[in-house]
Amino acid sequence: MELNHIKDPSVLKTMSIAELQSLAASIRAFLIESISHTGGHLSSNLGVVELTMALHKVFDSPTDALIFDVGHQGYVHKILTGRADRFSTLRQTDGLSGFLKRNESVHDVFEAGHASTSLAAGAGMLHAKDITRNDGEIVMIIGDGALASGMALEALNYMGHDRRRAPIIILNDNEMSIGQNIGYLSKLLTKIRLKRSYRTLRKAAKKLIPGAFKGFGAKVERRLKTFISGHSTFEDLGYQYYGPIDGHKFSHLLKAFRVAKEENRPCIVHVKTVKGKGYAPSELDMTGKFHGVKPFDIVTGETTTSEPHERTMSRAVADYLTRLAHRRNDIMVITPAMVAGSELDEFVRAHPKRLIDVGIAEQTAATMAAGMALSGVRPFLSIYSTFLQRAYDQVLHDIARHQADVIIGIDRAGIVGADGDTHQGIYDIPMLSHVPNLTIAHPKNVAELYGMLNYAFTAHHGPYVVRYARGAMVDVEDDGYDTTPIPPSWESLSDGTEATLITFGACVTAFQEAIQAHHLPIRLINARYIKPLDASMLADVDTDKPIFTLEESTVRGGLGEAILAHLVEHDKRPACFRMLGFREAFVPHGARDDMMKRYGLDVNSVLAKVRDTLAS
C-alpha cells in the first residue's frame, strides 16, 4: 500500500493480520529511509509501529483520544493520519513537526515535547468528560523512561484512586530511556517480564515432570513468587493490569486493547517492545545514538553530516569536567537522562562513579545537587535550558536559598532548531535572573567558557550558572583548559561613539567582525555575565546615544530590562533604548539561522536596525 494514500486510520479497520503485518513492514522501511535523509527520532518510532497501528485499529481517533507522551514516537501516528507525504520536510523550517501538533491534525489531541505529561493530561480529559458528556475513551501511551518521572507518577497515583473513571494507560516498555533506563521502576518492570517467563517455565515443567512443584520444589516456587511480584504494584495502585504483551504481535496487541476498551475501571496494558526494531544498528544501540539521529547512511549507520566531528560547547564542557575530575575528587556530575545529548559519554567512561543519571527527574537532580553541595561535594548539574523549567522551585528553594556551591551547566541555551517550540532555550534567563544568590554567565566561545569554569570551580562561592548554546564551536582545543579565571565582569570590544550594542554568546564575535569590517561607529559590549550586571561599565555607557541590547532569549525579564532598570535607578535615563530578543511568541521548529532572521535577530538585521536608528 502507498503510504501517501493513507488519509486516516479507517484504512486499518478492515485489514487482516497479514495485511497489517505487510503495512507495518512498509512503514518501517519508510521511516528508516525518510529519517536517514531528514534526521529525527528513529529508534522510538521503529519500536512502536505495530503498537500504534493496533491502537488505531481498536480505538476510534479522534473520538477516542490517543495521547502520546513526549510525542517523539508519534511518526507512525502521523503516517496513519494522512501526513506521510510531508515527511521529507520533517523538523525543517515550516515543515512537519517532530512532535504532535494540534494545528497539524485533529488526531493530535495533546501536544508535548517534554516528557511525562500524558497521564496528567489524560486525567484532565477524563474529568472534562463529566461535563462535556463526550463518551470517547482516553488512552495514554507512555514509555517506561517517562513513567518513572515525578509528574507521571503523581498522575498515576491520582487516577488509580477513582474507580468510576476508566483511563487506559498503554505502557510502552522497551527497557530504554534515551539510553539505558535507570531506577527501581525499571527493575520492577524486569521482574514483571520475568514473571511471564516464569509462568511459561512453570507450565512447561509441570507438563514434563508431574509433581515438580511439590515439597522442596514448592519452597523454591514460593521464593520465586515473592521475588517476582511486580505486577501487584500496579494492581495495588488501583489499576487492572494486563501484560506484558508482545508489542510486535498484532494478535496479542489487538486482543489486549479490545479488553482494555471494555474495561470500566483504571487499567494498564503493559506492552513489551524493542526500541529500534527492524534496523540492526538501532536495535543494538545501548547509548541512545539512534534515539535522535542526524541524517545517516543506512548501510553503515554513520552520520552523513559533518557536524558531529566538530567540537560543540557541550563537548567542551564535558572535556573540561573529565579533566577536572582527574585532578579533583570532589567533583560529581548530575544529569537528568541526558548523558548522550550533553555528550557526557566520555566522562562516564573516565569516571563511571562520578556521574549520576537520575532519569527524567529534573527536580530530583536539582535538589540532589543542593544536598551534595551542602555535604562538601562540588556538583555540576548538567541540564538543558528547556528541561530546567521543570526545576524552578528546586533551584530557588533548595540551591539558591541555601547558597549551595552548585554549578549549573545550562545546555541548549537559545534557539535549538529542529525540536522547536517545546525545546527552545529562551526562558531560563527571565526564570533565573531574579533569583537571589545566583550568578549567571554566558561565554562567547570555548576559551571564555573555560575561564568561567575555572573561576566557578576555584574562586566562586554559592550557586553559579553557565549557559551554552547548541551547535558547533571550533575555536579552541583542550589547551584552553588553563585559561585565566574570568570573574563577573564585561568586556568592551570596540570603541565606537555613536551607539552601544550590549549582547552575549557566540554572536559577540560575529558582531565584532562586522563592526570592524564596516568601520561602524558602534561600541560593542560583551555582557558575558547576565547577572550580576557590570555596574562600572554601565556607568561609563553613553546614554545620550542609542543603546541596543540583544539576547537570544525572551525580552521580558531579560538582560535588556535589567540594564534599563539599572540605568534608570542610577539616574542615567537613556535617550534611546531598544531591547532586541524574542517577544510574546513560541518560536517554532526550523533551522536556527532561519528563526533568527525571521525574528530580525541575526547580525545583518540587527546592524540594519542600528543604522536606521542612527540615520533617523
The binding site for ligand TPP (CB under 6 A) comprises 44, 70, 72-73, 114-115, 143-146, 172, 174, 176-178, 275, 337, 360, 387, 390
Edge-to-edge strand ranges of the sheet holding 168-173: 65-68, 138-143, 168-173, 267-272, 240-246
Distances (CA, A) of 606 to 76, 514, 528, 580: 41, 11, 19, 8
Shortest spacing between CB 580 and ligand TPP, in angstroms: 29
Task: Give me the amino acid identity at 137.
Answer: E
Shortest spacing between CB 46 and ligand TPP, in angstroms: 10
Residue nearest to ligand TPP (CB): 143
Edge-to-edge strand ranges of the sheet holding 577-582: 491-492, 522-526, 499-503, 547-554, 577-582
Residue of 83, 101, 272, 275 marked active site:
275
* Alpha-helical runs (H) found in 241-373: 250-262, 280-284, 313-327, 345-350, 362-373
Residue 432: partners with Cβ closer than 8 Å, 6 or more residues away: 395, 438, 440, 465, 531
User: Nearer Cβ to ligand TPP, position 345 or 491?
Assistant: 345
Q: Is 578 helix (H, G, I), strand (E, B) or coil?
A: strand
User: Nearer Cβ to ligand TPP, position 44 or 553?
Assistant: 44
User: Nearer Cβ to ligand TPP, position 412 or 545?
Assistant: 412
Contact, 13 vs 42, CB < 8 A? Answer: no
Residue 611 has φ and ψ, to the nearest 5°, of -60, -45
353 is catalytic: no
User: Nearer Cβ to ligand TPP, position 139 or 337?
Assistant: 337
Residue of 193, 390, 523, 609 marked active site:
390
Shortest spacing between CB 169 and ligand TPP, in angstroms: 13
Shortest spacing between CB 386 and ligand TPP, in angstroms: 8
User: Nearer Cβ to ligand TPP, position 274 or 377?
Assistant: 274
Residue 301 has φ and ψ, to the nearest 5°, of 80, 0
Q: Counting every residue, how long is the chain?
A: 616
User: Nearer Cβ to ligand TPP, position 189 or 435?
Assistant: 189
Shortest spacing between CB 338 and ligand TPP, in angstroms: 6
Shortest spacing between CB 144 and ligand TPP, in angstroms: 5
Rounded Cα gap, residues 465 and 444, in angstroms: 15
User: Nearer Cβ to ligand TPP, position 315 or 423?
Assistant: 423
Over the range 179-202, which residues count as b (16 or more CB within 10 Å of their CB) and which as e?
bebbbebbebbeebbbbbebeeee
Residue of 362, 448, 551, 561 marked active site:
362
Q: For residue 562, how many C-alpha atoms fall within 13 Å in the half-sphere facing its CB?
A: 23
Grid coordinates belonging to 362: 529534573
444 is catalytic: no
CB atoms within 10 A of CB 377: 16
Shortest spacing between CB 567 and ligand TPP, in angstroms: 37
Shortest spacing between CB 219 and ligand TPP, in angstroms: 37
* Alpha-helical runs (H) found in 161-285: 184-208, 216-227, 231-236, 250-262, 280-284
583 is catalytic: no
Secondary structure element (H or E) that encloses residue 549, with its range: strand 547-554
Q: Is 466 helix (H, G, I), strand (E, B) or coil?
A: strand
Task: Supply the residues annotated as catalytic.
Answer: 275, 362, 390
